[in-house]
Amino acid sequence: MKNFKLVVVLLWLPVMAFAQEKGKLSGGLESNTQYYVDDPKTGDFAEDNNFRTNTYLTLRYNYKNWFANAQLESYEPQALLNYYPKYKGTNLGTYAIGYKSSKFEATLGYFYEQFGSGLALRSWEDRQLGINNALRGVNIKYRPTDAIELTALYGRQRDGFDVSDGDIFGFNSEIGLDQILKFETSSLGLGLSYVGRSETLDISNPDFKSLTNVISTRLDFSEGSFYSSLEYVNKGKDVYQELGNIIDDKYFNGSALLFNLGYAKSGLGIDASFRRMENMSFYSERAMGSNIYNQDIINYLPALTKQHDYSLTNIYVYQSQPNLTFNPRGKAGEIGGQIDVYYKFDKGTTLGGKHGTKIAFNFSNWSGLKGNFDIVDRTYDTSGFLAFGKNYFREASLEVRKKWSSDWSSIFTIVNTYYNKKFIEDTSGEINATILAGEATYQFNSGKSVRLEAQHLFTKDDKKNWAGGTLEFNLNSKLSFFATD
């Protein structure tokens, strides 16, 4: 099966935006279209409707301190492949009205919110991934001083064109200790958050509470070129679910620790992150814990690895492992981290040359939590808070960006990856791969440019070697043509 894409994006349409004495109306339109055809190698397209479109029309209205917004969505005749099945037809996706001033803000309807890094709560929209877990309810913010911001919310998560059955309660405080203590050169912030999920299940005489509590504490500090942040999250006891089924006599706590520090100055940047998660999956409906569409997720737990630019470097991509599971094998979470180093060799130096050279190095390593798992009784214990178990993923990469002249520039990338399919995908096999990618760009005086890209993946495992290439011609900053294979 092959597919052809047509993407139309019109954001903040000037023809739709106008100002009057009574307010300002603005909007945006985005349409993503694909046509699926039969392919002799990958197989025929066996589903209905080869032609599919996802369309989003957003309108926003502002009048003094008041605002209103709505998003109309259309998935006709069907949503693009691999989108959540409840996205179908044409309907009003989100809507809200609210009031905002320097000290007070209130929203009634659908809203997006994030506490801290998102370990406790984050609602957001990503149309390319098919995610929109906005909360429908009320969100109130109050800023009694410049140093303090308080947030209280209640809502239910969006689920298709409906909402989930779980009630979400939240409170967040952001306190600028540097302002209170009158620091002159340092920044110090304290954050405290609470998130509660209440869901009453259709189970006779359940022996677990409907309410699950999550508490987050965090501290952010920066001084000159140095910055750091620390966040710890505790998740109260929650009933265990497996493959969408509630096991109502098993309960487990959860926790997460995230530590980040870095240093940045002209020509040099270093950033390091460490994270440990244990049983931190958190859904507005417990039974959604096994869904593959990232629906009803309350918190935000992305993989902390380098985001690569090339197609072959994105074949073996790590996915974070926050879940506790005993089937098909015992896993309780993940532990690991990554480090990024950026450096620029100045012009006129041996490695910098006439135009300078930029390098970027990344190393990431992620493992399971070391412990003992009883698959039959569904019990476990970890061997220590910082103990590393089976290695899930390891990757090292180096990127070199070089401008050779006013016309020529190039990028060279090498990536070495270890990917454990057994634990990441719950299948079988381990993969060791090396990817080489290079590209060169020639800039014409007229503003046009041509870019050639070549890449190769070397491995004796899985589906063996891959090769790819792209030829791109840019007429200007707004129009380009490319061919890739």
Domain extent listing, the chain: 1-99, 101-302, 308-485
Strands 466-474 and 480-484: antiparallel
Q: Are 402 and 357 in contact (CB under 8 A)?
A: yes
- Region 17-46 average pLDDT: 81
Q: Are 138 and 108 in contact (CB under 8 A)?
A: yes
- Phi then psi for residue 314, to 5 deg, are -115, 25
Q: What is the pLDDT of residue 93?
A: 96
- Rounded-to-integer distance, Cα 431 and Cα 315, Å: 11
Mean pLDDT score of the chain, rounded to an integer? 92
Q: Are 467 and 455 in contact (CB under 8 A)?
A: yes
C-alpha 214 chain-centroid distance: 20
Q: What is the pLDDT of residue 392?
A: 98
The tokens for 61 are 């209205």
CB atoms within 10 A of CB 465: 11
Percent of the chain at pLDDT exceeding 90: 78
For 86-107, the pLDDT digits (tens) are 999 999 999 999 999 999 999 9
- Region 210-230 average pLDDT: 97
Q: What is the pLDDT of residue 45?
A: 83
- Per mean pLDDT, which range of 16-20, 31-35, 250-254 is the poorest? 16-20
- Rounded-to-integer distance, Cα 248 and Cα 269, Å: 49
Q: What is the pLDDT of residue 18?
A: 47
- Per mean pLDDT, which range of 165-174, 225-234, 446-455 is the poorest? 446-455
Please state which of the four CATH numbers 1.10.10, 3.40.720, 3.30.70, 2.40.160 is assigned to the domain occupying 101-302.
2.40.160
Q: Are 318 and 391 in contact (CB under 8 A)?
A: no
* DSSP code string of 64-121: TTEEEEEEEEEEESSPPTTS-TT--EEEEEEEEEEEE-SSEEEEEEEE--EETTTTSE
CA dihedral (147, 227, 319, 483) positive or negative: positive
| Choice between 9 and 241, residue whose per-residue pLDDT is larger | 241
Three-state DSSP at 10 gives strand
Q: What is the pLDDT of residue 3?
A: 52
DSSP code for 293: S
For 364-393, the pLDDT digits (tens) are 999 999 999 999 999 999 999 999 999 999
* DSSP code string of 166-221: -EEEEEEEEEEHHHHTT-SSEEEEEEEEEEEEE---S-SS-SS-SEEEEEEEEEEE
Q: What is the pLDDT of residue 366?
A: 98
Residue 44 banded pLDDT, cuts 50, 70, 90: confident
pLDDT higher than 70, residue 21: no
pLDDT higher than 90, residue 244: no
- ω into 328 cis (within 30 of 0): yes
- Rounded-to-integer distance, Cα 5 and Cα 284, Å: 33
For 186-216, the pLDDT digits (tens) are 999 999 999 999 998 777 777 778 999 999 9
Q: What is the pLDDT of residue 10?
A: 45
- Per mean pLDDT, which range of 5-19, 315-329, 456-470 is the poorest? 5-19
DSSP code for 370: P
Q: What is the pLDDT of residue 343?
A: 97
pLDDT higher than 50, residue 16: no
Lookup result for tokens 């491995």: 459
- Per mean pLDDT, which range of 252-256, 348-352, 435-439 is the poorest? 348-352
Q: What is the pLDDT of residue 228?
A: 98
For 117-152, the pLDDT digits (tens) are 999 999 999 999 999 999 999 999 999 999 999 999
CB atoms within 10 A of CB 335: 25
Buried b (16+ CB within 10 A) or exposed e, 265-292: eeeebbbbbbbbbbbbbbbbbbbbbeee
Residue 302 banded pLDDT, cuts 50, 70, 90: very high
Q: What is the pLDDT of residue 350?
A: 85
Q: What is the pLDDT of residue 22?
A: 78
